[in-house]
Chains A and B, each alone.
Chain A
Amino acid sequence: MTHETASSLQPPKVIFSPIGWMREHLFSSVWNSILTLITLYILWLLVPPVIEWAFLKASWVGTSRDDCTPGGACWVFIAQRWSQFMYGFYPEALRWRVDLAGILAVLWGGPLLFQRFPWKKLFGFSFLIGYPLIAWWLLYGGDLFGMTTVPTDQWGGLMLTLVIAAVGIAGAMPLGILFALGRRSELPVIKAVSIAFIEFWRGVPLISVLFMSSVMLPLFLPEGMNFDKLVRALIAVVLFQAAYIAEVVRGGLQAIPKGQYEAAQALGLNYWQMMGLIILPQALKLVIPGIVNTFIALFKDTSLVIIIGLSDFFMIIHRATVDPAWLGFATEGYVFAAAVYWIFCFGMSRYSIALEKRLNTDHRR
């Protein structure tokens, strides 16, 4: 402990020049200067070789591995396999259906992400109800209205990853909200069932759930009734994510002051009116960051479906890296896959931060 009176501090120097900035942020003390120099050394070790490999010495155009210069990245590999990475083994003549489903999603659902979009209600409701049906019709076909069926074992690539993520999100959200309400319920049976459901799924790894859906589910269904492999994976993903969503939503429900519940009851609203009109809109707004984080986790977890033999985006790339024609380009493949996953996850997290700021309507300073 010090016992001397501290000396008065000099008034802060306000310097806006680059040198002033560097003096304050990089070389403010001896220790700081050493740290800066070490960091610069690490950067010098890492950055130039990576840039040289990924850009300067990289090969961009060509048709086979012979077009690649050694010592640089061979992006020819990615370019040649691009359509397989995107669509998997979806029949080439029918790939326009996947494109159309994607374009529809962007044009129909995309505007909902913007605050000032005027027809939000119209677009939102029609999108939630209509889009899944149309997307199913476009992607699967089912021989309805002249669309030939494309069996799900031909689906693959980024398209399959996005389908799993989208269905997982759309299915887990309502189920998760229901279980969150169940866990907060005053009815002991419903509360116990919800707690058991949530804690079970949160306690086991997704891989074991996928194993379960692929080997145990057929045992529990009557003879002759069998789901498609993709549907089984989707069921597993939805149940698993619903438990996580439920815990996030429960956090929001707990944060709503009791006065809100009492006010809703005083107005004569019944349970579902109270939850739907008063409590949930506030609670969900509070937990948007948590929900988006769960979705990011879900998006990353979609890569686990390779365990049960689905060819998602990552699996297609991994298979391509062990193809004899392109052996030795595993790093390029993984870097590309990482970049794509990164863009999606990082984009979602930035969007959630922006949304959180926008929705922050309370009067906290």
Chain B
Amino acid sequence: MKPSRSAFLSWIYDPKIRGIIAQVVTLVVLGLLVGWLAHNAVTNLAARGIASGFDFLNDPAGFGILQTLIPYTESDTYARVFVIGLLNTLLVSALGIVAATILGFIMGVARLSKNALVSALATVYIETFRNIPPLLQIFFWYFAVLQAMPSPRQSLGWFDAVFLNIRGLYLPRPIPTEAVTAFVVAVVLAFALWWVIARWAKRRQDETGQPFPVFWTGLGLVVLLPYLASLVFGSPFTWELPQLRGFNFVGGWVMIPELVALWVALSIYTSAFIAEIVRAGILAVPHGQTEAAMALGLTPQQRLRLVILPQAMRVIIPPLTSQYLNLTKNSSLAAAIGYPDLVGLFAGTVLNQTGQAIETIAMAMAVYLTISIMISLFMNWYNKRMALVER
């Protein structure tokens, strides 16, 4: 081959030029695709007479909502419906995250138990619930359990305070009295003292090596101070109990069955995954660490608190946060049983009423994207903070 010809064609083989060509082609194809889709959308919207833009948010919604955390009437705007949906999503996610964490840690530790029966039971729990679709679990709790509950007159009751029937779960509601200010001040003060004592104890231990039972002192303060406050100023709350009047209960807190079903199902489903994460985290701490802690003469509690747990948490927290994110995203399954969450309410009802599919779905997706970006920012910050400092 003549050198001149190969030099002429050689630019095809230059990785840099190839890279630039590939990127330009990608950009052009992507641009054409987006343009084509946008063009279609504009023509279709015009042909169907659907308005675009976010003006619809100021229109009255005109439909009732099963559960609203802020005051709402049918004449309120779609913007308010959006906020209500968002709050309902956050409510069920927060409840679910708390319950799933507690259940998950219990099951994860139980699976590692030396007691063969306990660990077998935990294994069965984990393997059962993580292999059944969450939607099925939600339907089971909603249709097979809660819809089969008795009517209010025959409701299941515990201590005349908690009632469960087909209309939902009724709980006593605390109503603050005048003494509540003193109570809150006492709680805040107790935690502040705890913090001060913890700092003092750490400094003393660093200087003299003398340990101080910070946890028990703190716990004592948190229990004792509010108790004293309520003794002196009177009870901070009166409890409003749900009571049967005619065919239904009045008073108290009501958890609608949709919320209960969603909460129970999501908590159990996610707890099975959290249990596995906890187990893996604890197993990830090498046995040498336990032995070294024993050789230093640490008691079993100190071993767990000072050596094992901090190292296990480093492994546990990243997947744990992604499970929280999963739970939040799974809460959108609410749409299937009619719990008024963001997707069911906004991407469902509002979309059907206004026909503005692009705007409503974009808004619902934007919320989830914001949450997930916030969580991944937190993760990056956490990983940086927790990264092993190596020599």
Interface residues of B in 5-28 (CB under 8 A from A): 15, 19, 22-23, 26-27
A40 with B298, Cβ < 8 A, contacts A207-B333, A211-B347, A304-B333 known: no
Interface size on A, residues (CB 8 A): 59
Q: B106-127 vs A: 1/0 string, CB under 8 Å? A: 0000000111111001000001
The minimal Cβ–Cβ distance linking B131 to chain A, given in whole angstroms, is: 4
- A187 lies within 8 A of chain B by Cβ: yes
Contact yes or no, B347 A208, CB < 8 A: yes
Q: Which 9 interchain pairs have the tightest Cβ spacing?
A: A203-B372, A345-B131, A25-B116, A189-B23, A300-B133, A205-B329, A205-B332, A203-B369, A215-B357
B118 touches A341 (CB 8 A): no
Interface residues in B356-374 by Cβ distance below 8 A to A read 357-358, 361, 364-365, 368-369, 371-373
Q: Is B40 an interface residue (CB 8 A)?
A: yes
A255 to chain B, nearest CB (A): 16
| Chain B contacts for A2, CB-based, 8 A | 297-299
Which residue of B115, B127, B148, B358 contacts A346 across the interface (Cβ within 8 Å)? B127
Contacts A223-B43, A306-B336, A307-B336; is A216 near B23 (CB within 8 Å)? no
Name 15 extra pairs, CB < 8 A, besides A1-B296, A204-B372, A338-B132.
A1-B299, A2-B299, A39-B118, A187-B19, A203-B365, A203-B371, A208-B343, A208-B368, A219-B45, A220-B37, A220-B40, A220-B41, A306-B336, A330-B148, A337-B136
A230→B268 CA distance, assembly (Å): 31
How far apart are the CA atoms of A4 and B336 in the complex, in Å? 63
Given contacts A193-B26, A221-B40, A223-B44, contact A204 B113 (CB under 8 A): no
Is the pair B132, A188 in contact by a Cβ cutoff of 8 Å?
no
18 contacts between A and B (CB under 8 A): A1-B302, A25-B115, A43-B121, A203-B368, A204-B369, A204-B372, A205-B332, A207-B333, A207-B343, A208-B364, A208-B368, A215-B357, A220-B40, A296-B131, A314-B135, A314-B136, A334-B136, A341-B136
Across-interface contacts of B361 in A (CB, < 8 A): 208, 211-212, 215-216
Query: A194-209 interface mask toward B, CB cutoff 8 Å, 1 = contact, 0 = none?
Result: 0000011011111110
A44 vs chain B, min Cβ distance (A): 12
B117 contacts A39, C-beta separation under 8 Å: yes
> Nearest residue in B to A333 (C-beta to C-beta)?
B144
A349 in contact with B358 (CB, 8 Å): no
In the complex, identify which listed stretch (A28-36, A97-105, A149-157) lies at the interface while the others stay far away: A28-36
Interface residue from A40, A300, A304 paired with B117 (Cβ < 8 Å) = A40
Closest residue on chain A to residue B143 by CB atoms: A330
The answer to whether the Cβ of B351 comes within 8 Å of any Cβ in the partner chain is yes
Q: Which residues of A contact B (CB under 8 A)?
A: 1-3, 25-26, 28, 32, 35-36, 39-40, 42-43, 186-190, 193, 199-200, 202-208, 211-212, 215-216, 218-223, 271, 296, 300-301, 303-304, 306-307, 314, 318, 321, 330-331, 334, 337-338, 341-342, 345-346, 349
Q: Is the CB of B140 within 8 A of A334?
A: yes
Q: Which residues of B contact A331 (CB under 8 A)?
A: 140, 144
- A216 adjacent to B143 (CB under 8 Å): no
B145-179, CB < 8 A from A = 147-148
Determine the chain B residues whose CB is within 8 A of the CB of A193 once the complex forms: 26, 30
The answer on a CB contact under 8 Å between A219 and B41 is yes
Q: Are A207 and B139 in contact (CB under 8 A)?
A: no
B contact residues around A36 at 8 Å (CB):
115, 117-118
In whole Å, how far is A348's beta carbon from the nearest beta carbon of chain B? 9
Bound Cα distance A279, B283 (Å): 30
Residues of A within 8 A of B113 (CB): 35
CA distance A186 to B59 in the complex (A): 48
**A204 engages B132 (CB within 8 Å):** no
Instruction: State the Cβ distance, B117 to closest chain A Cβ, in Å.
Output: 5
The answer to whether A3 and B297 touch across the interface, beta carbons within 8 angstroms, is: yes
Knowing A35-B115, A189-B23, A211-B343 touch, does A219 contact B135 (C-beta < 8 A)? no
Rounded to whole Å, the gap between the CB of A28 and the closest CB of chain B is: 7
Given known contacts A205-B330, A205-B368, A211-B361, A338 and B136 CB-to-CB distance under 8 angstroms: yes
A32 touching B115 by the CB < 8 A rule? Answer: yes
From the candidates A39, A307, A321, name the one contacting B121 in the complex (CB within 8 A): A39
* CB proximity of B326 to chain A, nearest CB, Å: 9
Q: Which residues of B contact A222 (CB under 8 A)?
A: 40, 43
Q: Point out the residues of chain A lying under 8 angstroms from B336, CB to CB.
A: 306-307
B211 within 8 A of A: yes
How many B residues, CB 8 Å from partner? 63
Interface string of B209-221 (1 = CB under 8 A from A): 0010000000000
Using Cβ atoms and an 8 Å threshold, which residues of chain B touch A307?
Answer: 335-336
**B47 at the A interface (CB under 8 A):** yes
> Which chain A positions have C-beta within 8 A of B144?
330-331, 334
When the two chains form their complex, are residues B358 and A216 in contact, meaning their CB atoms are under 8 A apart? yes
* B181 contacts partner chain A, Cβ-Cβ < 8 Å: no
Query: Chain B residues with Cβ under 8 A from A187's Cβ?
Result: 19, 22-23
Residue from B128, B140, B298 with most neighbouring chain A CB atoms (10 Å) = B140
List of B residues within 8 angstroms of A306 by Cβ: 135, 336
> What separation, in Å, do the CA atoms of A43 and B120 have in the docked complex?
11
Query: Does chain A have a CB within 8 A of B85?
Result: no
**Contact status B143-A321, CB under 8 Å:** yes
Q: Give A146 to B89 CA distance when docked, in angstroms.
A: 52
- The reply to whether the CB of B257 lies closer than 8 angstroms to some CB of chain A is no
Asked whether, in the complex, the Cβ of A219 is within 8 Å of the Cβ of B44, the reply is yes
Within 8 Å by CB of A28, from B41, B114, B147, B365, lies B114
Give the docked Cα–Cα distance between A26 and B211 (Å).
36
- CB–CB A190/B368 < 8 A: no
Is A204's CB under 8 angstroms from B128's CB? no
Does B104 touch A at the CB level, under 8 Å? no
Whole-angstrom distance between the alpha carbons of A302 and B43 in the complex?
A: 33
- Decide yes or no: A216 and B365 within 8 Å by CB, A36-B115, A205-B332, A207-B333 being known contacts: no
Q: How far is the CA of A330 from the CA of B149 in the complex (A)?
A: 13
8 Å CB contacts to A: which residues of B296-348?
A: 296-299, 302, 329-330, 332-333, 335-336, 343, 347-348
Which residue of chain B has the shortest Cβ distance to A225 in the bound complex?
A: B40
Given contacts A216-B361, A303-B136, contact A186 B118 (CB under 8 A): no
State how many angstroms separate the Cβ of A162 from the closest Cβ of chain B. 14
Shortest distance between the CB of B281 and any CB in chain A (Å): 17
Any chain A CB within 8 A of the CB of B134? yes
- Note all chain B residues with C-beta closer than 8 A to A200: 369
Which chain A residues border B137 with CB–CB below 8 Å? 338
The docked-state distance in angstroms from the alpha carbon of A43 to that of B30 is 59
Q: Are A341 and B131 in contact (CB under 8 A)?
A: yes
- Complex CA distance for A349 and B132, rounded to whole angstroms: 13
List residues of chain B with CB within 8 A of the CB of A221.
40
Nearest CB on B from A201, distance (A): 10
B329's partner among A25, A186, A189, A204 (CB-CB below 8 A) is A204
Residues of A close to B357: CB separation below 8 A: 215-216, 219
